Amino acid sequence: MRPSLHEIFQKTYRELRPRAPMPQFRVEFYPFANVNNTIRLRDSKIHARISDLLEGAPGNVLEAIAHILLAKVYHRPVEAAHASRFRRYVASKDIRAKTHLVRQMRGSKRMQSPRGLFYDLEQIFDELNVRFFHGLVGRPPMTWSQDRSRRSLAHYDPAHNTIVVSRIFDHARVPRYVVEYIVYHEMLHLRHPVKLRGSRRCVHGPEFQAEEKLFPELEKAKAFLRRL
């Protein structure tokens, strides 16, 4: 039977750190727009995301990725054999073709614009940045959603590092302070990062809530959103 990603990471960890205690692993395939792999160590928990483009990769390629990521997080040198195996695989014709296709599909969000018919998200972000944050918040790309979803007012899309705001708010009947409030809320998420759960990071701790109260039209905006 084929070992799971989880088993591959545990085995590779043992090779790299024979005597250290085994951390908790959360390892998953993730739909990045690219052959992208990320790893993070926090509170002795490892969270790794492997591009789902590599889902069908042979075991030794997955081992190579595990080795490279774990070496990176524990500041160990990457073995040349692993590095070249991974490079060769990503450069193979098959994977290049798949990557190209997926990038076209998933990357299409980048073609969208922060400028809607009524509101320009990036302009609103920049104004709020000056008004509330001394211009200190780094602005990720922003875009109006493709569909007119009511399920999510706005969210952060880590695969594209983009803030997506539902297009229903790009409308003359929506007051500017409502769009400002939605963007302000997302800015607070940038300032108070939390662990990602899937693509959501909607956790509102006490500091977050205190800072949210500094938005003057908070209650009016919330009342508007409740009436939607």
Q: Which residues bind Zn ion (CB under 5 A)?
A: 202
Q: How far is the CB of 169 from Zn ion (least distance, A)?
A: 15
Q: How far is the CB of 63 from Zn ion (least distance, A)?
A: 38
Q: Which two tokens stand for residue 119?
A: 């509101």
The residue (of 37 and 145) whose beta carbon lies closer to Zn ion is 145
The residue (of 83 and 202) whose beta carbon lies closer to Zn ion is 202
Q: Which residues of 71-103 are buried (b: 16+ CB within 10 A; e: fewer)?
A: bebeeeeeeeebeebbeebbeeeebeeebeebb
Largest CA distance in the chain: 63
The residue (of 135 and 205) whose beta carbon lies closer to Zn ion is 205
Helices 59-73 and 80-91, interaxial angle, to 10°? 120
Q: How far is the CB of 118 from Zn ion (least distance, A)?
A: 23
Residue in the shown chain whose Cβ atom is closest to Zn ion: 202
Sign of CA dihedral 31, 32, 34, 38: negative
Q: How far is the CB of 205 from Zn ion (least distance, A)?
A: 11
Q: Which two tokens stand for residue 60?
A: 């030794």
The residue (of 190 and 202) whose beta carbon lies closer to Zn ion is 202
